[in-house]
Amino acid sequence: MLVGVCDFPGSYAFPPAGYGGIERWLWAVAVGARAAGADVHLLGPGWLTDLENDWVRRPVRLEDITPGSLAQRELRDTGYDLLVVGHEYPSLPAWTRTWNELDCDVATFQHSPVFQHADTAFDGKRSRLYCYSPEMIERYTDHQPIPELAVHLGLDEEEPPAVAGKDLVWLGRIDEEKAPHLAVRAAQMLGRRIRVVGPVFDESYIRRHDRLFGADHVEWVGELGGPAKTAAIRDASVFVYTYARTYVEAGAAVFGETLRTGTPMAALTWREGTCAEAALCEQTGVITVADPDEDDEAAARQLARAIEQAEVLDHAHVQTIGMDRFDPARHFKAMSAWPCS
């Protein structure tokens, strides 16, 4: 099977070393496809040039190809069986025009809770849309979505054996949608230290919660990538997961990243059917569903109890489950519908 994994214009590299969403997923698919026995081409100029030593890298984007051109004929003659792409592209006329000439399948994963697809983008067979959680499946039901847990990988983020860990950790983009102040307050209630890892996206949000974020129990780490990012998650006793009341998590990279390191999770949600529910089980984490009509203090109190319950889970067992549930080869096989060996 020959698979083309497509990049897209963006501010992060392919593969990314630190923060990133769809970019990390596309790299995981490429790695998983190769592990499953497929041949893989990295399509697009965004892929790191260093990869040419070990991968076939073709710096061309489908949406930039002129109909009837030599580039289009060369792509068609290559004989791709499957293209994997960001979720916007099966609705982009310039991209689909070239794809239709290639006579291959296309698969994508929904990484946005609001993007509107063209009515004809997916048929559930030749063109397939995958979604993480029950609430995402419901949002995109008109496009015949297929349930599947996304796997995300960064560059040089291989997971060493699990350890028991010490302090708490929260990781993600730092803004109101991700609501890390709730994790910080829950840690404060427990008298625990918490490391906050990630890039700041909203300075005004930080200022609104400056007393919490400036407290002595909070360690600001900044954005990490590679082995340092993996270590920050692995060395924690519990990963604390939060988001705002109205936010819908679509791709949820942190669940796979965290369970693969062996760190159990305490997750605060505001409704049923979320990514946390899809990703976690009683052996890997604790989910608490807060009432969105109650205040932050009540939610943080519930989260604190979840942290205490998650802390007794066995890290080695969490890692075993995480490595299986978020295995890149398994993920690729599910999306390709190909009986790889």
Q: In CATH, what number is assigned to the domain containing residue 139? A: 3.40.50.2000
Does residue 62 belong to any structural domain of this protein?
A: yes
In a domain, 159, yes or no: no
d(CA 282, CA 38) in angstroms, rounded, equals 34
Query: Is 341 contained in some domain?
Result: no
Do 173 and 134 lie in one domain? The reply is no
Within a domain: residue 233? yes
Query: For residue 160, is it within any domain?
Result: no
Which residue matches tokens 């297929």? 146
Query: How high is the pLDDT of residue 11?
Result: 81
Q: Give the amino acid at 261.
A: T
Number of domains in the chain: 2
CA distances from 67 to 42, 43, 79, 81, 168 (A): 21, 18, 17, 20, 54
Q: Are residues 137 and 192 in the same domain?
A: no
CA distance 261 to 169: 13
pTM beyond 0.85: yes
| Domain coverage including residue 54 | 2-151+328-336
Instruction: Note whether residue 177 is domain-resident.
Output: yes
Let me know whether 174 and 113 are in one domain.
no
pLDDT at 340: 44
pLDDT of residue 17: 75
Strand partners, 39: 2
Same domain, 211 and 300: yes
Domain co-membership, 138 together with 57: yes
Tokens 């969403």 locate to: 21
Q: What is the pLDDT of residue 16?
A: 83
Residues 94, 180 within the same domain: no
Q: Are 138 and 247 within one domain?
A: no
Token duo for residue 298 = 């009540």
In a domain, 96, yes or no: yes
Per-residue pLDDT of the chain (341 residues; tens, 9 = 90+): 999 999 999 888 899 877 668 999 999 999 999 999 999 999 999 999 999 999 999 999 999 999 989 999 999 999 999 999 999 999 999 999 999 999 999 999 999 999 999 999 999 999 999 999 999 999 999 999 999 999 999 888 889 999 999 999 999 999 999 999 999 999 999 999 999 999 999 999 999 999 999 999 999 999 998 899 999 999 999 999 999 999 999 988 999 999 999 999 999 999 999 999 999 999 999 999 999 999 999 999 999 999 999 999 999 999 999 999 999 999 999 999 765 43
Asked if residue 196 and residue 139 are part of one domain, the reply reads no
Beta bridge partners of residue 220, listed in sequence order: 196
Asked if 108 and 86 touch (Cβ cutoff 8 Å), the reply is yes
- How far apart CA 73 and CA 99 sit, in angstroms, is 12
Residues 136 and 114 in one domain: yes
Note whether 150 and 256 are within 8 A (CB).
yes
Q: Indicate if 69 and 212 belong to the same structural domain.
A: no
Query: Counting Cβ atoms within 10 Å, is residue 210 exposed (0-12), middle (13-18) or buried (19+)?
Result: exposed
Q: Does one domain contain both 9 and 124? A: yes
- Is 131 in the same domain as 228? no
Which contiguous run of DSSP H or E holds residue 161?
none
Look up residue 259 and give its DSSP letter.
H
Q: Are 201 and 177 in contact (CB under 8 A)?
A: no
- Give residue 341's pLDDT: 39
The answer to whether position 163 is within a domain reads no
